[in-house]
Amino acid sequence: MLALTAQELEGFREDLAAMLPDLADLERNASQAAPADPFGHPPAPAWVPHLALVPASYWQAGAGPGPDTVEVVGYAHRLAVPHGTDVRETDRVALVTDAAGVARTRRPMRVDAVIPRASHLELTLTELGG
């Protein structure tokens, strides 16, 4: 097992804070395990707080010319979180704030995919509501 000195650990925390300057609040659907109603419909979602103040880095891939110069409309929302974060494709991101507490997102976002990268997990997101 890797043993770090207090100074090395503090340096690692500073590096992590620089790479993941935002904070994210994640929610999980508590009604997922509930049985369907008599007509076979799933229960209404019951979003409950799951993880708060997760170090993160939020960005949007902007709209612009796509293949064959077709205009791509909309934004692809992305969120990087540390490896080991308990996040699933059935969760949602309630809010992302910067270090000063200013909101970076307007609405909750559905987690469409959790992609393992070498240094983090990348979440692809879809903004909910309209």
Q: What is the mean pLDDT of the chain?
A: 83
Query: Quick one: pLDDT at residue 35?
Result: 79
Query: Quick one: pLDDT at residue 99?
Result: 87
Summarised one tens digit per residue, pLDDT across range 47-90 is 999 999 999 999 987 655 555 555 555 668 999 999 999 999 99
State the Cα–Cα distance between residues 76 and 58, nearest whole angstrom: 11
Structural tokens at position 3: 């043993």
For the chain, the domains span 22-33+43-127
Q: Specify the higher pLDDT residue, 37 or 71.
A: 37
Q: Could you say which DSSP state residue 13 is in?
A: H
Between the alpha carbon of residue 123 and those of residues 11, 28, 51, 84, 114, the distances in Å are 26, 15, 15, 13, 5
The answer on pLDDT for 45 being more than 90 is: no
Domain spanning 22-33+43-127, CATH class: mainly beta
Residue type, 88: R
What's the predicted TM-score (pTM) here?
0.75
Q: Specify the higher pLDDT residue, 40 or 49.
A: 49
